[in-house]
């Protein structure tokens, strides 16, 4: 009898202890903090660590896909009609982007490297060979005409040369030539006057098997938030350029966040050399990539908005005060003066005017937005797609008859989708981490549950226990008082 009630009371005490332990673990955040510090410890670039191997040679395949716009009505456009285009693509390249010439600096707090990108054509993932013909704007000619439009003597000379060699506002070239370069007759002729001029033109000319300069990254040894952040680029200190394959920069407060690395109110910065600037992305929704939970970040429409909506974009009104509408960036300044305007594919999120100006534009969020999906627990990029369109500013230039009666348009040449999806091997590793994290984080709640369960058992046993008469009689006065 004594043994039995002793046992029952132990259950009661035990349930209370477990409850207290569970609740204090929840309140003190021990397990999430423990996870946090585990992740932090992993996020450092050191020789022979997993994070370093992944950074040096990212395992998931990166694909660069190009979609061209083939012009169908050049003669009508010369007479002032709306251009009509047909989207042609994809032309897919596997992008290899290892870090090379890796060199640790400053006691392992920084690491220097170059990022060499190589593009290998993937016929099986492409609609046709690189030799497919595309009719589009003659970009070298448009550039030269813009450049000399206010110099009548030169304009006359160039115009005469163009007439004699039958060069016009539009040209038909292969996809491969437009991307990787071709010798342009007009540039070659001008080279006689200007020997330092490069007579090869291509939108990605010299981009293959080359690096874009010397980077110095933080290793994250001092602060995990600096993991893989760019310190300097070609010797210049860079603010806001964090990149692990152009993807992620983590900024914001981590405070009392449940998730160790990323939370929903953080801002991701991406550096894009195509745009000559850094962009940022904000949380949009929860997603799942190959079964792994993620947060989707997208650039807010404000990034490309016109001045009324986002005064920060004043820097892209060049010359000062000369602003294009929403959704367009004039990057002429960083493309050797070529009249190149960047936008989202099909002018997604741009001023409706630009969509209307070209027959064949069908902007659509799903296909044309830039997205980055990140696993919040680890900060690992699950999936990303950078989507950008290259356009040329076309206008009538009185000194060049080659421009005919063309109307002023932002003419789409191609758009690209540079995308990556986490590889299956990394998914398996992440699944284990996510499952472990779920268990670890839930241990305090399991303890509380167990405490409540045992408490219930205790009460049940107490009620069912027969109370001896004598004891009951003794207790009565106590109860009354």
Ligand X SMILES: *[C@@H]1O[C@H](CO)[C@@H](O)[C@H](O)[C@H]1NC(C)=O
Q: If binding means CB under 6 A, how many residues of this protein chain bind ligand X?
A: 40
Query: Considering only 128-136, 210-218, 274-282, 438-446, which stretch makes contact with ligand X by CB under 6 A?
Result: 128-136
Q: What angle do CA 103, 108, 111 make, to 5 degrees?
A: 35
What is the closest distance, in whole angstroms, from the C-beta atom of residue 54 to ligand X in the complex?
15
Query: Considering only 20-28, 126-134, 278-286, 468-476, which stretch makes contact with ligand X by CB under 6 A?
Result: 126-134
| Residue 446 contacts ligand X per CB under 6 A | no
| Residue 313 contacts ligand X per CB under 6 A | no
Query: Considering only 8-16, 181-189, 326-334, 471-479, which stretch makes contact with ligand X by CB under 6 A?
Result: 326-334
| Residue 332 contacts ligand X per CB under 6 A | yes
For ligand X, which is the closer residue by CB, 326 or 378?
326
Residues 221-250 vs ligand X: string with x where CB under 6 A? -------------------x----------
> Which residue in the set 15, 248, 343, 417 belongs to the binding site for ligand X (CB under 6 A)?
417
- Which runs of consecutive H residues, i.e. helices, occur in 92-238? 139-148, 152-164, 175-180, 185-191
- Alpha-carbon distance 263 to 33, whole Å? 15
> Which residue in the set 131, 164, 194, 308 belongs to the binding site for ligand X (CB under 6 A)?
308
For ligand X, which is the closer residue by CB, 15 or 244?
244
For ligand X, which is the closer residue by CB, 119 or 218?
119
- Alpha-carbon distance 427 to 259, whole Å? 19
Q: Find out whether 456 and 12 touch, Cβ atoms under 8 Å.
A: no
- Alpha-carbon distance 214 to 115, whole Å? 8
| Residue 102 contacts ligand X per CB under 6 A | yes
| Residue 131 contacts ligand X per CB under 6 A | no
| Residue 123 contacts ligand X per CB under 6 A | no
* Long-range CB pairs of 464-467, under 8 A, 24+ apart, other chains included: 465/4, 465/5, 465/8
| Residue 276 contacts ligand X per CB under 6 A | no
Question: Element (H or E) spanning 230, and its range?
Answer: strand 230-233
What is the closest distance, in whole angstroms, from the C-beta atom of residue 119 to ligand X in the complex?
5
| Residue 119 contacts ligand X per CB under 6 A | yes
Q: What angle do CA 410, 411, 416 make, to 5 degrees?
A: 110
Q: How far is CA 474 from CA 53, 202, 462, 480, in A?
A: 76, 101, 18, 11
Binding to ligand X, residues 167-196 (CB under 6 A): 180
Estimate the crossing angle of helix 424-464 against helix 2-28, to 10 degrees: 140
| Residue 132 contacts ligand X per CB under 6 A | yes
Q: 10 Å Cβ neighbour count for 450?
A: 16
**407 beta partners:** none
For ligand X, which is the closer residue by CB, 319 or 477?
319
| Residue 209 contacts ligand X per CB under 6 A | yes
Query: Considering only 16-24, 129-137, 183-191, 193-201, which stretch makes contact with ligand X by CB under 6 A?
Result: 129-137
For ligand X, which is the closer residue by CB, 107 or 164?
107
- Alpha-carbon distance 39 to 177, whole Å? 46
- Alpha-carbon distance 367 to 371, whole Å? 10
Q: Find out whether 83 and 114 touch, Cβ atoms under 8 Å.
A: no
> Which residue in the set 36, 110, 117, 135 belongs to the binding site for ligand X (CB under 6 A)?
135
Residues 387-416 vs ligand X: string with x where CB under 6 A? ------x-----------------------
> Which residue in the set 208, 222, 232, 399 belongs to the binding site for ligand X (CB under 6 A)?
208
301 Cβ partners below 8 Å, 6+ apart?
326, 349
**417 beta partners:** 65, 387
> Which residue in the set 29, 118, 254, 426 belongs to the binding site for ligand X (CB under 6 A)?
118
What is the closest distance, in whole angstroms, from the C-beta atom of residue 368 to ligand X in the complex?
6
Q: Find out whether 398 and 435 touch, Cβ atoms under 8 Å.
A: no
Q: 10 Å Cβ neighbour count for 258?
A: 12
| Residue 112 contacts ligand X per CB under 6 A | no
What is the closest distance, in whole angstroms, from the C-beta atom of residue 435 to ligand X in the complex?
27
Q: Find out whether 422 and 383 touch, Cβ atoms under 8 Å.
A: yes
Binding site for ligand X (CB under 6 A): 47, 63, 65, 70, 88, 102, 104, 106-107, 118-121, 132-135, 180, 208-209, 240, 251, 306, 308-309, 318-319, 322, 324-326, 330, 332-333, 367-368, 385, 393, 417, 419
């Amino acid at each position: 009898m004594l043994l039995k009630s002793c046992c029952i009371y132990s259950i009661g005490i035990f349930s209370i202890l477990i409850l207290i332990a569970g609740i204090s673990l929840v309140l003190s955040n021990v397990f999430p903090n423990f996870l946090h510090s585990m992740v932090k410890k992993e996020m450092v670039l050191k020789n022979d660590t997993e994070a370093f191997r992944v950074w040096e040679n990212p395992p998931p395949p990166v694909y660069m896909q190009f979609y061209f716009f083939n012009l169908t009505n050049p003669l009508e456009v010369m007479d002032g009609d709306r251009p009509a285009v047909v989207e042609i693509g994809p032309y897919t390249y596997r992008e290899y982007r290892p870090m090379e010439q890796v060199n640790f600096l400053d006691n392992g707090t920084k690491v220097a490297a170059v990022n060499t990108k190589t593009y290998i054509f993937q016929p099986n993932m492409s609609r046709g060979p690189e030799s497919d013909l595309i009719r589009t704007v003659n970009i070298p000619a448009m550039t030269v005409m813009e450049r000399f439009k206010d110099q009548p003597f030169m304009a006359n000379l160039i115009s005469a040369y163009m007439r004699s060699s039958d060069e016009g506002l539009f040209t038909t070239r292969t996809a491969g030539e437009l991307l990787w370069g071709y010798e342009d007759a007009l540039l070659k002729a001008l080279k006689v006057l200007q020997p330092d001029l490069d007579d090869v033109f291509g939108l990605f000319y010299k981009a293959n098997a080359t690096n874009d300069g010397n980077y110095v990254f933080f290793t994250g040894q001092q602060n995990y938030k600096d993991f893989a952040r760019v310190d300097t680029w070609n010797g210049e200190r860079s603010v806001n350029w964090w990149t692990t394959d152009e993807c992620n920069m983590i900024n914001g407060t981590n405070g009392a966040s449940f998730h160790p690395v990323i939370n929903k109110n953080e801002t991701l910065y991406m550096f894009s050399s195509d745009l000559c600037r850094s962009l940022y992305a904000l949380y949009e929704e929860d997603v799942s990539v190959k079964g792994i939970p993620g947060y989707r970040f997208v650039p807010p429409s404000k990034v490309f908005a016109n001045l009324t909506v986002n005064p920060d974009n004043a820097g892209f009104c060049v010359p000062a005060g000369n602003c294009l509408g929403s959704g367009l960036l004039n990057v002429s300044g960083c493309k050797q003066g070529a009249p190149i305007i960047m936008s989202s594919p099909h002018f997604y999120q741009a001023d409706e005017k630009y969509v209307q100006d070209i027959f064949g534009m069908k902007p659509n969020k799903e296909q044309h937005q830039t997205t980055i999906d990140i696993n919040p627990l680890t900060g690992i990029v699950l999936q990303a797609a950078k989507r950008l369109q290259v356009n040329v500013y076309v206008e009538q230039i009185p000194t060049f008859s080659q421009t005919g009666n063309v109307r002023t348009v932002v003419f789409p040449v191609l758009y690209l989708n540079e995308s990556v999806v986490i590889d299956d091997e990394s998914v398996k590793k992440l699944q284990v981490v996510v499952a472990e994290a779920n268990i670890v984080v839930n241990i305090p709640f399991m303890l509380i549950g167990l405490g409540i369960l045992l408490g219930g058992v205790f009460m049940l046993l107490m009620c069912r226990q027969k109370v001896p008469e004598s004891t009951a009689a003794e207790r009565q006065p106590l109860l009354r008082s």
